[in-house]
Amino acid sequence: MQDMTFVIGPDRPVADIWDALGAAGLNLEASCTYPTLDGRVVRVVLADEDAEAGSEALLGAGFGAIDRSEVIIAGLDNRPGALGHLARRVADSGAMVATLYMAMGDRVVVGADDLDKVGLSSADERRDIAQRKLTDTDYPSHWPHRTAPRPTHG
């Protein structure tokens, strides 16, 4: 997966980025935006095979990426400690988390200074992690919430 970062001015709608990708027939895996003093930062994640077409579509719409990096998208249960466990896996591997934000469908985008250290050495393994959520066996057995039912709201 490829994470591309853009900075846009305060008068340009962020929707222009997402519209350009949609018009090119490209599916977003994840995206986020946040304000800066002079506008907004927009991050988009595209599948590896869509990254070049995405760059071209966005350049055609007047957006040039200021950064592009490889990331993984991991499935993540919505439960206490899940994000910490994933971040700990990265830290214990000797890599440092560089990027982390939530994606659609209980998934999280993770970028690290060395993804190979995380133990996902091939593109296929990196793609496969998005298909799997952490399960009870991924959590330390001493965590009291390990087998506790998820709370329901409503």
**Contact residues for 89 (Cβ-Cβ < 8 A; gap 6+):** 118, 119
Burial group, residue 9, by CB count within 10 angstroms (0-12, 13-18, 19+): exposed
**Contact residues for 15 (Cβ-Cβ < 8 A; gap 6+):** none
CATH architecture of 72-137: 2-Layer Sandwich (3.30)
Domain ranges of the chain: 2-69, 72-137
Scan for tokens 């939530």, then name that residue.
Answer: 102
**Distance (Å, whole) CA 106 – CA 132:** 11
Provide the percentage of residues in the chain whose pLDDT is more than 90.
Answer: 32
Q: Compute and round to an integer the Cα radius of gyration of the chain.
A: 17
Can you list the residues of the chain whose pLDDT is less than 50?
Answer: 121-132, 134, 136, 138-154
Please give the CATH topology (third level) of the domain spanning 2-69: Alpha-Beta Plaits (3.30.70)
pLDDT digits (tens, 9 = 90+) for 112-153: 887 777 765 444 444 444 444 545 454 444 443 434 344 444
Residue 40 CA to chain centroid, in angstroms? 18
**Distance (Å, whole) CA 108 – CA 83:** 8
Give this prediction's pTM: 0.72
Continuous segment of H or E residues that includes residue 72: strand 72-75
**Contact residues for 121 (Cβ-Cβ < 8 A; gap 6+):** none
